[in-house]
Chains A and B, each alone.
Chain A
Amino acid sequence: MRDKNIMRPNNRTLFLRYFLPWQIYRFIVINIKMLKMMSRGH
């Protein structure tokens, strides 16, 4: 069905996915990126 040579998240990545300060920062960054993308489409 699929090979086993698959990229997997390391512990740091798994931790950061839910680490509050980092995620607040990413929330802001992603919103800015979305707005940037939307400004091109609107």
Chain B
Amino acid sequence: MSVVDIIVLGAGVSGHTAAMYAKRYLGQDANVIVISPEEQYNWIPSNIWVGVGQMNAEDVLIPLAPVYEKHDVTFYQGRAQELYPEGRTLNSKPSIVYESTEISTLGEKREIHYDFLINATGPKLNFGATPGLGPGGFSVSVCKASHATEAALQLASLIKEMKQGIKKTLLVGMGHGTCTCEGAAFEYVFNVDTELRRQGVRENAELIYITNEAELGDFGVDGIQLDVGGFITPSKMMADSLFFEKQIKVFLGAHPERLEKNKLFYTDLSGKRGEIDFDFAMLLPPFKGNRLKTLNQLGEDITEKLFTPADFMRVDADYSPKIYADWRPEDWPRHYQSPYYKNVFAIGIAFAPPHQISKPQKNPEGILITPAPPRTGMPSAMMGRVVAENIAYQVKTGKMGRKTASMSDMGAACIASIGTGYKKGAAVSITMCPIVPDYLKYPETGRNINVTFGEVGRSGHWIKKMLHYLFIYKAKGYPFWWIIPE
């Protein structure tokens, strides 16, 4: 058996998982090469704690080079730009071209050939979708550790002013009508609330949550029917209750149109337009994919064939246009394999979902205000592992690996922090299965109610903290890292 070259683009949760498992399964039979523009791995779920000053950026970042060196994985710091899935005229082996983002070789381009390609490039943070949004504009974010650090600094400075009795308005939520990751904004607003209470300034703060969800608790998965205290309870009730309890004002079904200094302009599902004044705003951006210019062997541009207009890569999903009533679990990809090139895969944020999970809604002007499907964290790691397993199977047997990781089959655990601290910390612990509701299999709730539940409590915080340390351990590739499930 000849040694195969496996290139993994991106070293986030899905890419890092795929690379580590590919090397573990194939050992010396594979050259695993990771190309990532970042030199550090970021355990993003803990960024919310960095954003309130309860963790440092170093606590959520891991230098990648030493981890890969230890595990015999080649690491190039760079951004993939071009894809040649049929090779080029002089060499028919498929290749990618990346541009170095390392200081010493900044901007240099290099071509690398592959037998298998795993696209795990993650999201492009599309702050430009809303004028004035983002760290370069008038709001902060917690998408990156550096963004979260900036958020924590701004929050600390505001708290200082509040301690002098000055009233402030803090706005947290989604920066566009098509954002995903509502869970992160949900966690952040409650962590800000906890931090303000800890600092004794909550009464000087008006806390506002703005979301593109039509109702709280949607989380981009069409809401969840949870087993809570003997009742099948919609996640909306649980979320409504929490926001009411913490006195956080909510704007639902909102699409921020632009930001100016201390002011946000939005429209909502009813078509109403309004403004919100703020002193601090943490607003998440919508995501785009990372498009690679793709050329066939004849030099023809086939980018549009492989990527959707939002720059996500098409895989084995059913992308035919359908109305909400016709959506089926089978629409969702199972192997994350390109329909055009069987040795190309896309996982995590990089794959194009067939449609939303939440019911799409437009306002009277036709503006789409609906959460995009979440595909981060646990599901994206599962995709990474399964794709690595399938590639390893194919390398060893010559047959296509058929393990699946469809979001319409797999479950997810979501531990949403609502405050940190071993005594005062708490979290909403939610598990659901499957992620994409299946109303044919589970006609009443769309999910298996035996494993779909939620509750609020201090134990949730312990679990979130435990998961932080476990996943950092796993990402560092310490002994027996593979025992820790995704």
Binding site for B on A (CB under 8 A): 1-2, 6-9, 16-18, 20, 22-24, 26-27, 30-31, 33-34, 36-38, 40-42
Contacts and interface: CB of A to CB of B under 8 A. Distances in A.
Given A17-B426, A18-B426, A26 B249 contact: no
B72 interface: no
B266 interface: no
Interface of B: 216, 237-238, 240-241, 243-245, 249-252, 382, 409-413, 423-424, 426, 429, 431-433, 448, 451, 453, 455-460, 462-463, 485-486
Contacts of A16: 457
B457 A23 contact: yes
Given A2-B252, A6-B240, A34-B431, 4 more contacts: A7-B237, A30-B460, A40-B433, A41-B410
Q: Which of A2, A31, A37, A42 has the most CB of B within 10 A?
A: A37
Contacts of B459: 23-24, 26-27, 30
Contact of A17 (B216, B382, B457, B486): B457
Complex A-B, nearest 7 residue pairs according to Cβ-Cβ distance, in ascending order: A41-B410, A27-B459, A26-B459, A37-B451, A37-B411, A23-B459, A23-B458
Contacts of B432: 37
Contact of B451 (A7, A24, A36): A36
A7 B460 CA distance: 20
Contacts of B426: 17-18
**At the interface, is chain B mostly helix, strand, loop or mixed?**
mixed
B244 A40 contact: no
A11 B486 CA distance: 36
28 contacts: A2-B244, A9-B245, A9-B456, A16-B457, A17-B426, A17-B457, A17-B458, A18-B426, A23-B459, A26-B455, A26-B457, A27-B462, A27-B463, A30-B455, A30-B460, A31-B463, A33-B431, A33-B451, A34-B463, A37-B411, A37-B432, A37-B433, A38-B411, A40-B433, A40-B451, A41-B382, A42-B485, A42-B486
A13 to B, nearest CB: 8
Given A18-B458, A40-B411, A1 B244 contact: no
Contacts of A18: 423-424, 426, 457-458
B251 A1 contact: yes
Q: Which of B238, B244, B251, B412 has the most CB of A within 10 A?
A: B244
Contacts of A31: 463
Contacts of A34: 413, 431, 463
A9 to B, nearest CB: 7
Contacts of A2: 216, 240, 243-244, 250, 252
